[in-house]
Chains A and B, each alone.
Chain A
Amino acid sequence: MMNAPADIAISVKDLTVGYGDNVILQYVNFQVRRGEVFVILGASGSGKSTLLKAMIGLDPPLSGEVWIDGGNLWAAQGKDRLALLRKFGVMYQSGALFGSLTVLENVRLPLDEFSDLPDPLKEVAALARLKLVGLGAAADKMPAELSGGMQKRAAIARAMVLDPRILFLDEPSAGLDPITSADIDLLITGLHHFGFTFVIVSHELPSIYSIADRVVMLGSGTKGIIAEGKPAELRDTAADPWVRRFFNRQPDPSHSLEPS
């Protein structure tokens, strides 16, 4: 363990990710401050998901380090690694709820596996998380009975049931209608007030403007970060024209179908 500055929740150092010889991102560096909503964005194929997988301990990086709350995720072994994994929760893009369990059982499952709390308290803890995401009434439903937005809410409840301080959300608004998407944004903002640190992979611009404190943008083909800062600032003042086009939703002029 290393003593990290108190306000840094995650530190990514010289991270290179990819598969075999195929390097997707090279020497990426950034820090996520405690309590902020940090968004990783970029074009399709820019390596957002690969980066996320390295940050949450799923796919090992080719080189570099990921420090979470002062612990080196990829160097930690055994109990140390487990303790680091307990510091964050993850919501996957599809929700990834277990289809054979009710929503409440889904949320309770990590407690059953990892907590010594008495059983009645586990039930209350799981219900409290569901209530927090507005799904108190859906506790006994099966995941297949929930809408896409509700599944994502339930997945957020499950991600935070072990009381992590950091939440990784993979495309929380993907595939949702604007109202449901705004509901999820509201939920994130609400949870943010409870002190959670969020790392969100997204490219939904309305969501990013409404929730993000800071963003990093991965370039397409550049294998690295091409911009970092507040979304509104990047939209207006980014040096890279591609970044400005991205934030202003402007097409690449070279892709125009109009006869020249």
Chain B
Amino acid sequence: MTTATQNELETAMEVRPDSRARLVLRGRLNEQTVVGCWSLLEKELLGTKVEALQVDVSGLGFCDAAGLTLLLYLNMGKMTPQATVSVFGLKADLENIFRELILEDRAFQPQPAIKSDFFVGRIGRKVAQVTMEFHEQMVFLGALIASLPVSIFHPKRSRWAETRRVVELAGANAVPIVSLMSLLLGFIIAFESARRLAEFGAQLYVANTIMVVMVRDMGPLMTAILLAGRSGSSFAAEIGTMKVNEELNALKTFGLDPIPFLVVPRILAGVFVTPLLTFYSILMGVIGGVIVMLGLGFTLPLILHQLASSVHLNDLGTGIAKSAVFGVIVSAVGCWHGLRTQQGPSAVGLSTTRAVVTSLLLIIVADAFFSAISYLLK
């Protein structure tokens, strides 16, 4: 027989030769004493063959929820597999709670093993998922294409106030950051190209480099990237939160389709704002380059002449056209991920991240496509 006394709990454990065991607990069984009692019971009972276990708690003066949990655990027979367990001597009020809480052996039944996932099955599931997603994208695109003409040709049915709000948020409010980014971009391009071109005595061509790079690529691309991070994410978060809060369901019950109601104003705003911001970004980038060139000792008329001769109007047209496409990509992807937001606290964050990553990817893909087309057409 093993007896242990710790703090206010006395534990007496006896395993008889006929495999019958008796555990007597006296004193206070609370969260502190349970831990010590647990260790003792593990030592005594685990690995010992016990056919019947009697737990005598008639000497317990106090038993809290942790103590009751220990008794429930013993009663489940986990420490004495195959043994019949009886807990007796509980005070009447605790006895009632104890009987109420007797648990089935759920926690300790082995969970059904997850079948190993054969790789063909995984490929199949992935294909099904991608197909499903593609189907959803097509449905979204179809609904969008169906809604856009209504908005454009029936201006009264469009939500212009919402469009104006988004134009302000995504466009006007982005001017300071676009200014700073583009000016610094102009500086960087000018400095980097000036060093290389100086080796050939051709620093004047810094002007050409800035103009071509800003007009054809960097202006539209950097503006679109900035919009994706700033506005695409905000579209996804805004619509996603509306979905989580069941506001989209409320719209639907009013008979309002979220696509014309929420998505179209954002797409129109994106198409309107991105080219404007891009044009502004090109301007600021060139100003940054001009400042560097002035610092290198070139005169302003010479720089301006060089700038004017370096690009044609159709280069600017291509840049602006690209930016309009980027605007559609950023807005549509942001809204699409917002509408697909699932339930739960992390869902909106997930949608926002996906919106930004997908937008960036599609912008680069579209840019590569534009570059390839313009090369082939020349």
A interacts with B = yes
| Contact status A100-B69, CB under 8 Å | no
| Contact status B38-A121, CB under 8 Å | yes
| Contact status A131-B103, CB under 8 Å | yes
Instruction: Tally B residues with Cβ within 8 Å of A.
Output: 27
Q: Is A5 interfacial (CB 8 A cutoff)? A: no
In the docked arrangement, what's the CA distance between A179 and B101, Å? Answer: 24
In the assembled complex, the CB of A196 is this many whole angstroms from the nearest CB of chain B, namely 11
Which size bracket describes the interface of A in this complex? 20 to 34
Given contacts A120-B73, A124-B69, A163-B64, contact A131 B101 (CB under 8 A): yes
| Contact status A123-B107, CB under 8 Å | yes
Q: Is A98 interfacial (CB 8 A cutoff)? A: yes
| Contact status A127-B34, CB under 8 Å | no
Given contacts A124-B103, A127-B107, contact A163 B66 (CB under 8 A): yes
Which residues of A sit under 8 angstroms from B347, Cβ to Cβ? 99
| Contact status B31-A144, CB under 8 Å | no
Which residues of B sit under 8 angstroms from A136, Cβ to Cβ? 103-104, 106
In the assembled complex, the CB of A66 is this many whole angstroms from the nearest CB of chain B, namely 25
Q: Is A226 interfacial (CB 8 A cutoff)? A: no
Q: Is B72 interfacial (CB 8 A cutoff)? A: yes
Which residues of A sit under 8 angstroms from B69, Cβ to Cβ? 117, 121, 124-125, 128
Number of A-B contacts (CB under 8 A): 66
Which residues of B sit under 8 angstroms from A98, Cβ to Cβ? 345
| Contact status B66-A128, CB under 8 Å | no
In the docked arrangement, what's the CA distance between A131 and B31, Å? Answer: 20
Which residues of B sit under 8 angstroms from A127, Cβ to Cβ? 103, 106-107
In the docked arrangement, what's the CA distance between A115 and B100, Å? Answer: 24
Which residues of A sit under 8 angstroms from B68, Cβ to Cβ? 128
Which residues of A sit under 8 angstroms from B65, Cβ to Cβ? 125, 163
Which residues of A sit under 8 angstroms from B252, Cβ to Cβ? none
Given contacts A124-B69, A127-B103, contact A144 B344 (CB under 8 A): yes
| Contact status A194-B97, CB under 8 Å | yes
In the assembled complex, the CB of B368 is this many whole angstroms from the nearest CB of chain A, namely 37
| Contact status B97-A121, CB under 8 Å | no
| Contact status B100-A125, CB under 8 Å | no
| Contact status B31-A117, CB under 8 Å | yes
| B64-88 interface with A by 8 A CB criterion | 64-66, 68-70, 72-73, 76, 78
Q: Is B3 interfacial (CB 8 A cutoff)? A: no
In the assembled complex, the CB of B378 is this many whole angstroms from the nearest CB of chain A, namely 53
Q: Is B256 interfacial (CB 8 A cutoff)? A: no
In the docked arrangement, what's the CA distance between A100 and B72, Å? Answer: 29
| Contact status B103-A121, CB under 8 Å | no
| Contact status A100-B344, CB under 8 Å | yes
| B1-56 interface with A by 8 A CB criterion | 31, 34-35, 38
Partner among A99, A120, A123 whose Cβ is within 8 Å of the Cβ of B343: A99
In the docked arrangement, what's the CA distance between A143 and B345, Å? Answer: 11
Which residues of B sit under 8 angstroms from A132, Cβ to Cβ? 100-101
In the assembled complex, the CB of B345 is this many whole angstroms from the nearest CB of chain A, namely 5
Which residues of B sit under 8 angstroms from A123, Cβ to Cβ? 107
Given contacts A99-B344, A99-B346, contact A124 B107 (CB under 8 A): yes
| Contact status A100-B107, CB under 8 Å | no
* Chain B binding surface SS class: helix
In the docked arrangement, what's the CA distance between A17 and B108, Å? Answer: 49
Which residues of A sit under 8 angstroms from B70, Cβ to Cβ? 121
In the docked arrangement, what's the CA distance between A136 and B105, Å? Answer: 12
In the docked arrangement, what's the CA distance between A123 and B70, Å? Answer: 11
B345 nearest CB neighbor, chain A only: A99
In the docked arrangement, what's the CA distance between A15 and B188, Å? Answer: 60
| A89-141 interface with B by 8 A CB criterion | 98-100, 115-118, 120-121, 123-125, 127-128, 131-132, 136, 139
Which residues of A sit under 8 angstroms from B72, Cβ to Cβ? 124, 128
In the docked arrangement, what's the CA distance between A118 and B69, Å? Answer: 11
- Give A226-257 as 1s and 0s: 1 = Cβ < 8 Å from B's Cβ atoms: 00000000000000000000000000000000
| Contact status A116-B345, CB under 8 Å | no
| Contact status B31-A116, CB under 8 Å | yes
- Give B108-144 as 1s and 0s: 1 = Cβ < 8 Å from A's Cβ atoms: 1000000000000000000000000000000000000
Which residues of B sit under 8 angstroms from A124, Cβ to Cβ? 69, 72-73, 76, 103, 107
In the assembled complex, the CB of B25 is this many whole angstroms from the nearest CB of chain A, namely 15
In the assembled complex, the CB of A49 is this many whole angstroms from the nearest CB of chain B, namely 18
In the docked arrangement, what's the CA distance between A139 and B104, Å? Answer: 13
In the docked arrangement, what's the CA distance between A121 and B100, Å? Answer: 17
Which residues of A sit under 8 angstroms from B107, Cβ to Cβ? 120, 123-124, 127
In the docked arrangement, what's the CA distance between A131 and B107, Å? Answer: 13
| Contact status B106-A139, CB under 8 Å | yes
In the docked arrangement, what's the CA distance between A195 and B291, Å? Answer: 78
Which of A118, A136, A194 has its CB near the most chain B CB atoms (within 10 A)? A118
Given contacts A121-B38, A128-B101, contact A144 B66 (CB under 8 A): no
Given contacts A125-B65, A128-B69, contact A118 B103 (CB under 8 A): no
In the docked arrangement, what's the CA distance between A125 and B38, Å? Answer: 14
In the docked arrangement, what's the CA distance between A123 and B103, Å? Answer: 11
Which residues of A sit under 8 angstroms from B78, Cβ to Cβ? 120
The 9 residue pairs across chains A and B that have the minimum distance between CB atoms: A99-B344, A163-B65, A125-B69, A144-B343, A128-B101, A123-B107, A124-B73, A99-B345, A118-B38
Would you mind naming 9 contact pairs between A and B with Cβ atoms under 8 Å apart?
Answer: A99-B346, A100-B345, A118-B35, A120-B78, A121-B73, A127-B107, A139-B106, A144-B343, A163-B65
- Other A-B contacts than A118-B35, A132-B101, A139-B106, 4 sampled, CB-CB below 8 A, are A121-B70, A128-B72, A144-B344, A163-B64
